[in-house]
Amino acid sequence: MVALAACGSQATTKAGPPPGYDFPAMAGRVVDQAGLLPQADEKRLTTQLASLERTTGHQMVVVTVKTLGGHPIESYAQSLGNYWGIGRREINDGVVLLVAPNERMVRIAVGKGLEQTLADAEAKAIIERVVIPAFTHGDMQAGIDRGVDGIAREIGPTKRKAS
């Protein structure tokens, strides 16, 4: 069974990671430390996320990690978003899609500035309806793709409430 968590506030201030957290380096909009995505998919997702940011102003990253290091996925995702400074500081509108395959967990962490647009219930529905079913069938790539698509639909140009 895949544990899931939906939404959590994330500030966009650049701070050091909390003690004991080992975050991957931010190498772009897609950081695939767990090696789940072929390079072509990383490039395609990077292009999609850049387009989303251009049209909405909202910044989103996709991160896969080898391990959460024993930390709860909620605090890991929020702390990672804070540490990387995802989203616009004045609006706090970043989104982190975090996948930890070894712990069988996925999380959508959302900055406070987007909580009206992408609420906990919507984030949870994206995870339950499109991400987990693909993961359950062993298709991590499709689950990530569908998760990004679902998030983009919620925060896309037609739902631009937060900016």
Span 107-117, average pLDDT: 95
Which distant-in-sequence residues (6+ apart) come within 8 Å of 24 by Cβ? Answer: 31, 33, 63, 65
- pLDDT score, position 15: 52
State the pTM of this model.
0.88
Alpha helices in the chain (DSSP H): 39-56, 73-84, 120-126, 132-136, 140-155
Range of the domain at 49: 3-12+30-156
Domain count, the chain: 1
| Residue 160: pLDDT over 50 | no
pLDDT at residue 109, rounded to an integer: 97
Is the torsion defined by CA of 60, 51, 144, 122 positive or negative? positive
Which CATH number does the domain housing residue 90 bear? 3.10.310.50
Q: Cα 96 to the chain's mean position, in Å? A: 2
Task: Flag whether 19 is in a domain.
Answer: no
Q: Which two tokens stand for residue 141?
A: 């790539």
